[in-house]
Amino acid sequence: MRHALKIEYHGGPFSGWQRQKGHPSVQQAVEEALRKLQPDAPGIAAAGRTDAGVHALAQVAHCDLNREWDPFRLAEALNYHLRPQPVAILAAAPVEEDFHARFSATERRYLFRLVCRRAPVTHEKGLVWQVPHALDGAAMREAAQCLVGRHDFTTFRASQCQADSPVRTLDEVTVEETDYPGGREFRFRLRARSFLHNQVRSIVGTLERVGAGAWPPEQVREALEARDRAACGPVAPPQGLYLAGVSYPRDPFGQG
């Protein structure tokens, strides 16, 4: 029986989602918990392979088990075996055999948190990108608009990206601004069917340069049109990035 899992995790202790020999991964942690329930449980697949240090609020994976589990009991059992690692199963649900966490997904949503303050962040260390200088939110919002839509994002993808095409459609790039103790927080929200490797971090790092006044907003459009990785701004660090959600034609967890 195939089951979907909604997974939250702190990426700090892990080398990323994907299992890697000799390095801790979120996939390995969940698979080992599953094998406490079923020793011959096969490997699992996820909606997105987050990099080292990247977090998830609602990663989705699917697993195949030899019987149908009550969703609540499956989540509880896995959470018991995942302790004390910073990984939690938020929900589990039986799904059709043709459901695939990656290939059935119709949308992925990412959140990036950037905090501006001089004093070191304490409570959320490792959960946000901190810069000591102020940022111009209006300038970043202006610059971000040219990225919405279907474009060749060669400039904003890692050189080792394995995607067949650099063309992607970004449905949303928004920049929200709010108070943060001793400073300001900016939340970047990006939404698309799929993303290129390092695309979100490349975009956020470039927009930060606009906010800091190092780039004029129009330079982001020029960088996009250059289709050249060398035209990209600095890549933002991983600790501010979260896989915030994944959508499917029918929500496997029954939440709309």
- Tally of CB atoms within 10 A around 12: 15
Asked whether residue 110 carries a pLDDT value surpassing 60, the answer given is yes
The per-residue pLDDT for range 180-220, each reduced to its tens digit, is 999 999 999 999 999 999 999 999 999 999 999 999 999 99
Q: Is it true that domain 107-244 has CATH number 3.30.70.660?
A: yes
The residues, ordered by sequence, that sit 6+ positions from 212 with a Cβ below 8 Å of its Cβ are 131, 133, 135, 136
User: What residues does each domain of the chain span?
Assistant: 2-104, 107-244
- Cα separation, 192 vs 206, whole angstroms: 19
In the chain, % of residues over pLDDT 90: 96
Model confidence at 255, pLDDT cuts 50, 70, 90, reads low
Model confidence at 256, pLDDT cuts 50, 70, 90, reads very low
Model confidence at 108, pLDDT cuts 50, 70, 90, reads very high
Please answer whether residues 37 and 65 qualify as being in contact, where contact means their C-beta atoms are separated by less than 8 angstroms: yes
| CATH number for domain 2-104, candidates 3.40.50.10470, 3.40.50.720, 3.50.50.60, 3.30.70.580 | 3.30.70.580
Closest to 16 (Cα-Cα) out of 49, 60, 48: 49
Q: pTM to 2 decimals? A: 0.96
Q: Of 40, 51, 171, 228, which residue is the catalytic one?
A: 51
**Known catalytic membership, residue 152:** no
- Cα separation, 192 vs 61, whole angstroms: 18
- Cα separation, 187 vs 178, whole angstroms: 8
Closest to 99 (Cα-Cα) out of 41, 60, 71, 70: 60
